[in-house]
């Protein structure tokens, strides 16, 4: 029995677990494992509560006494719910989350056991954490890493599985010199700037607005593979994606998985992790089968962006843990299986005021719509001016496989606004205003008055566009499923903040020169529209024509990660990031290096896995099968059945030809890896890996996949696509 058939048998024998839903109503369960506003209000003195609430709202600092009171309250709350440990929970540049648990338990000087958690430990910790990537920011022995409490994201209790819970405190991770070593620190900085810039612009329209916060809703796509089969695929285990595997006769061509009925086993997993997520205050709402067999999606309601990003990182961790209980491996890789849909993390971003206005939602009032158009056009202009940087922010070895293939947006950054909105903007440019006839309103202009019950965002959509307007928000679809959303969102917040400041500056100048406010706004927006028009695209982003057209328009189409990443360190990027105070040139260079290194390492791992599987699993098995064939052919020849022996000899020859090529290619790939590894220059090395070494991957795969079709199904060592994808 092969490892594969054993694994298949185990996987087939699984029974869906019976889930006992928690006794509480969802509304009562929601946030029960978070140190929420309600909990704080109950446990803190009125004075401390007011101070902490202000700090959360305005970002002001928290004094020592308040920190002590909060930590004492957190400790008693956490211990009463079964926690034994606490940790600063942060998001280093590895792309995953990090935690280092400390026990509440301590000894007094006279040896008595106490439970301790001081304000100082809440506010700041020094976990060392020196092995995380820093891109050279922590090269000297002096450069310690610190974590610092982010009070705007509630602390939560993480169940450690085998008993015991840990109090997790969302934190930033910075170096001794204050440089950001994580995603959260620059994200928080970008929020401050965006708030400042957007509030100032908002006040042209609504004087009462004091704060603008981006909101984010993250759709998370993923694949599920049975644990046993997962272990029968060393490539999934090592690289997160299958490097070989012939496509099954039936893939996604019938579109029968998409939105199909969810199997009981998968449903049990979903329900289970959703309950856990709800307890942690993650507002998960939708679940469905995605396009590819074995692929699914879940999406929470949108939240304030910092929370949405923390929650997504936490959700990914949670899904993996709950997946273990259900014998599922959750695959977050952007392209775990060739030839079918990859996985994205669609980021639905908007801007919301403290007075409850969604600045990207059109309304029926002309004055408000000028505000809407102002924010809309400023975003479009920002994306136009920094398209390459947005592209860089979603570049990775995994996304390189996904973008532009099987229903994923292409590498060209374009913006979709929808036919009606574009027509309106055209009208604005040609006439200077949007004419509303008597009885007409904005919705009418959007052509949907007759179907008022339909949500705007369902009316006009384009899922082939990487960055599309969906009625009341922008959806950045090109983000990879395994990524931390902060990377693209830091970029988006920063470029929009910078753009809004430009707009404000020009408005102030025009107003000072005596121009009327509405005229000034329209004049500027008209110019923005004309200047950014070439990034607007309404057609099919998957088509060949678009690639040609985009080229003619002068838009970049960068498919290689190592090239795309360059936008992080151009003068233009450094200028805008430094001006906005988000990341310094040094920090940007560090991030660039980390991304390049990450790319190199991923390809190095894949290349090793390919070599190992090809020779130690495939060729070795195939040779044994060939021997069986040779024996059969010899027996037939002995029986003088020469004609019957012929087809068998043909198969033997066929197999041999593939083996010879695989053997040669693996050898060449290994040599090219050696050349790459000896390179000093990081970019040269990444380039060499991305072109030369990676160049062998598809080629080797082609021959291995051919062998999959030639070998007795029983002997084939690796779990096949049909086994991994259709078993639920």
Binding region for ligand GLN (CB under 6 A): 221, 291, 341-344, 402, 407-408, 463, 477
Nearer to ligand GLN, 311 or 477 (CB): 477
Tokens of 30: 């929601």
Least distance from C-beta 478 to ligand GLN, angstroms?
8
Q: Are 292 and 252 in contact (CB under 8 A)?
A: yes
Task: Label each residue of 444-505 as H, E or C.
Answer: HHCCCCCCCCCCHHHCCCCCCCCEEECCCCEEECCCECCCCCHHHHHHHHHHHHHHHHHHHH
Tokens of 340: 């079918």
List beta partners, residue 92.
182
Nearer to ligand GLN, 154 or 342 (CB): 342
Least distance from C-beta 475 to ligand GLN, angstroms?
10
CA neighbours closer than 13 Å in the CB half-sphere of residue 693: 28
Helix orientation angle between 419-431 and 366-385, rounded to the nearest 10 degrees: 100
Neighbours of 344 (CB within 10 A): 28
Nearer to ligand GLN, 69 or 334 (CB): 334
Task: Label each residue of 281-349 as H, E or C.
Answer: CCCEEEEEECCCCCEEEEEECCEEHHHHHHHHHHHHHHHHHHHHHCCEEEECCCCCCCCCCCCEEEEEE
Q: Are 243 and 610 in contact (CB under 8 A)?
A: yes
Least distance from C-beta 490 to ligand GLN, angstroms?
21
List beta partners, residue 329.
225
Least distance from C-beta 612 to ligand GLN, angstroms?
29
Phi-psi region at 83: left, alpha or beta (left = phi > 0; alpha = psi -120 to 50) = beta
Nearer to ligand GLN, 406 or 626 (CB): 406
Nearer to ligand GLN, 291 or 468 (CB): 291
Nearer to ligand GLN, 221 or 563 (CB): 221
Nearer to ligand GLN, 221 or 310 (CB): 221
Least distance from C-beta 343 to ligand GLN, angstroms?
6
Least distance from C-beta 463 to ligand GLN, angstroms?
5
Q: Which residue has the tokens 């209000």?
A: 41
- 433 to 81, 424, 530, 654: CA distances (angstroms): 60, 9, 15, 70
Least distance from C-beta 258 to ligand GLN, angstroms?
7
Nearer to ligand GLN, 295 or 626 (CB): 295
Nearer to ligand GLN, 171 or 220 (CB): 220
Nearer to ligand GLN, 297 or 385 (CB): 297
Least distance from C-beta 724 to ligand GLN, angstroms?
17
Nearer to ligand GLN, 475 or 595 (CB): 475
Closest to 190 (Cα-Cα) out of 309, 282, 286: 309
Least distance from C-beta 241 to ligand GLN, angstroms?
14
Least distance from C-beta 537 to ligand GLN, angstroms?
17
Least distance from C-beta 543 to ligand GLN, angstroms?
16
Q: How far apart are CA 616 and CA 622, in angstroms?
A: 10
Least distance from C-beta 716 to ligand GLN, angstroms?
28
Closest to 4 (Cα-Cα) out of 479, 706, 501, 712: 712
Nearer to ligand GLN, 463 or 553 (CB): 463
Closest to 475 (Cα-Cα) out of 378, 485, 483: 485
Neighbours of 540 (CB within 10 A): 12
Closest to 331 (Cα-Cα) out of 341, 339, 254: 341
Q: How far apart are CA 635 and CA 627, in angstroms?
A: 12
Nearer to ligand GLN, 51 or 335 (CB): 335
Least distance from C-beta 402 to ligand GLN, angstroms?
6
Q: Which residue has the tokens 């975003």?
A: 379
Least distance from C-beta 334 to ligand GLN, angstroms?
7
Tokens of 6: 């054993």
Q: In 132-211, which ranges are E strands? A: 145-149, 156-159, 165-175
Least distance from C-beta 548 to ligand GLN, angstroms?
23
Q: How far apart are CA 346 and CA 398, in angstroms?
A: 16
Least distance from C-beta 477 to ligand GLN, angstroms?
5
Neighbours of 38 (CB within 10 A): 10
Least distance from C-beta 422 to ligand GLN, angstroms?
22
Nearer to ligand GLN, 117 or 332 (CB): 332
Q: How far apart are CA 327 and CA 226, in angstroms?
A: 6
What residue is closest to ligand GLN based on CB? 344
Q: How far apart are CA 359 and CA 362, in angstroms?
A: 8
Nearer to ligand GLN, 291 or 361 (CB): 291
Nearer to ligand GLN, 298 or 665 (CB): 298
Q: Are 349 and 214 in contact (CB under 8 A)?
A: yes
Tokens of 700: 């080797």
Question: For the chain, what is the largest distance between any 2 Cα atoms, rounded to a whole number of angstroms?
Answer: 105
Tokens of 291: 């396009």
Nearer to ligand GLN, 182 or 221 (CB): 221
Strand, coil or helix: what is 373? helix
Nearer to ligand GLN, 346 or 673 (CB): 346
Q: Are 467 and 419 in contact (CB under 8 A)?
A: no
Tokens of 717: 């060592």
Distance of CA 544 to the CA centre of its chain: 27
Least distance from C-beta 270 to ligand GLN, angstroms?
18
- 524 to 278, 372, 373, 474: CA distances (angstroms): 45, 14, 11, 21
Neighbours of 55 (CB within 10 A): 18
């Amino acid at each position: 029995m092969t490892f594969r058939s054993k694994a298949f048998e185990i996987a087939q024998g699984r029974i869906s677990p019976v889930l006992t839903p928690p006794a509480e109503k969802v509304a009562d369960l929601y946030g029960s494992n978070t140190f929420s506003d309600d909990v704080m209000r109950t446990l803190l003195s009125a004075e401390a509560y007011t101070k902490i609430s202000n700090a959360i709202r305005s970002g002001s600092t928290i004094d020592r006494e308040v920190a002590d009171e909060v930590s004492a309250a957190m400790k008693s709350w956490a211990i009463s719910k079964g926690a034994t440990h606490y940790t600063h929970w942060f998001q280093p540049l590895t792309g995953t989350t990090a935690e280092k648990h400390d026990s509440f338990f301590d000894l007094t000087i006279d040896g008595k056991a106490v439970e301790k958690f001081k304000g100082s430990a809440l506010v700041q910790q020094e976990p060392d954490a020196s092995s995380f990537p820093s891109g050279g920011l922590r090269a000297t022995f002096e450069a310690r890493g610190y974590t610092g409490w982010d009070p705007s994201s509630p602390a939560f209790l993480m169940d450690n599985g085998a008993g015991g819970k840990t109090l997790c405190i969302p934190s930033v991770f910075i170096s001794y010199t204050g440089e950001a070593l994580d995603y959260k620190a620059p994200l928080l900085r970008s929020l401050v700037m965006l708030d400042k810039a957007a509030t100032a612009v908002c006040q042209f329209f609504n004087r009462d607005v004091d704060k603008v916060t981006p909101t984010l809703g993250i759709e998370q796509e993923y694949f599920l593979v049975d644990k046993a089969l997962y272990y029968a695929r060393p490539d999934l285990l090592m690289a997160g994606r299958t490097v070989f595997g012939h496509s099954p006769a039936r893939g996604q061509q019938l579109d029968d998985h998409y939105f199909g009925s969810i199997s009981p086993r998968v449903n049990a997993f979903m329900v289970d992790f959703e309950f856990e997520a709800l307890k942690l205050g993650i507002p998960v709402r939708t679940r469905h089968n995605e396009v590819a067999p074995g692929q699914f999606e879940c999406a929470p309601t949108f939240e304030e962006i910092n929370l949405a990003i923390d929650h997504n990182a936490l959700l990914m961790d949670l899904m993996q843990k709950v997946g273990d209980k259900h014998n599922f491996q959750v695959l977050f890789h952007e392209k775990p299986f060739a030839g079918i849909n990859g996985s994205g993390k669609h980021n639905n971003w908007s801007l919301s005021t403290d007075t409850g206005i969604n600045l990207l939602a059109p309304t029926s009032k002309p004055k408000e719509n000028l505000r809407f158009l102002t924010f809309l056009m400023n975003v479009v202009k920002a994306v136009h001016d920094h398209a390459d940087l947005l592209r860089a922010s979603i570049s990775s070895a995994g996304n390189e496989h996904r973008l532009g293939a099987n229903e994923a947006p292409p590498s060209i950054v374009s913006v979709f606004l929808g036919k009606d909105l574009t027509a309106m903007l055209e009208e604005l440019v040609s006439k200077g205003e949007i004419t509303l006839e008597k009885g007409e309103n904005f919705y009418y202009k959007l052509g949907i008055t007759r179907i008022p019950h339909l949500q705007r965002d369902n009316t006009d959509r384009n899922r082939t566009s990487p960055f599309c307007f969906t009625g009341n928000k922008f959806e950045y679809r090109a983000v990879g499923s395994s990524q931390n959303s902060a990377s693209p969102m830091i970029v988006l917040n920063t470029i929009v903040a910078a753009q809004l400041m430009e707009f404000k500056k020009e408005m102030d100048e025009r107003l000072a020169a005596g121009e009327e406010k509405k005229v000034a706004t329209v004049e500027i927006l008209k110019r923005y529209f004309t200047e950014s028009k070439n990034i607007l695209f309404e057609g099919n982003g998957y088509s060949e024509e678009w690639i040609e057209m985009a080229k003619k328009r002068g838009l970049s189409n960068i498919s290689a990660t190592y090239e795309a990443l360059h936008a992080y360190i151009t003068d233009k990027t450094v200028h805008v990031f430094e001006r906005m105070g988000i990341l310094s040139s040094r920090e940007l260079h560090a991030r660039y290096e980390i991304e390049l290194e990450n790319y190199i390492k991923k390809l190095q791992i894949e290349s090793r896995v390919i070599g190992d599987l090809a020779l130690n699993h495939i060729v070795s098995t195939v040779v044994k099968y060939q021997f069986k064939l040779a024996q059969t052919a010899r027996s037939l020849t002995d029986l003088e059945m020469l004609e019957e022996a012929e087809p068998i000899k043909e198969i033997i020859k066929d197999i041999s030809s593939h083996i010879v090529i695989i053997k040669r290619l693996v050898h060449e790939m290994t040599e090219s890896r050696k050349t790459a590894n000896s390179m000093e220059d990081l970019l040269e090395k990444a380039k060499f890996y991305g072109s030369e070494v990676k160049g062998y991957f598809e080629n080797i795969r082609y021959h291995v996949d051919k062998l999959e079709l030639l070998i007795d199904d029983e002997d084939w060592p690796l779990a096949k696509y049909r086994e991994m994808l259709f078993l639920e």
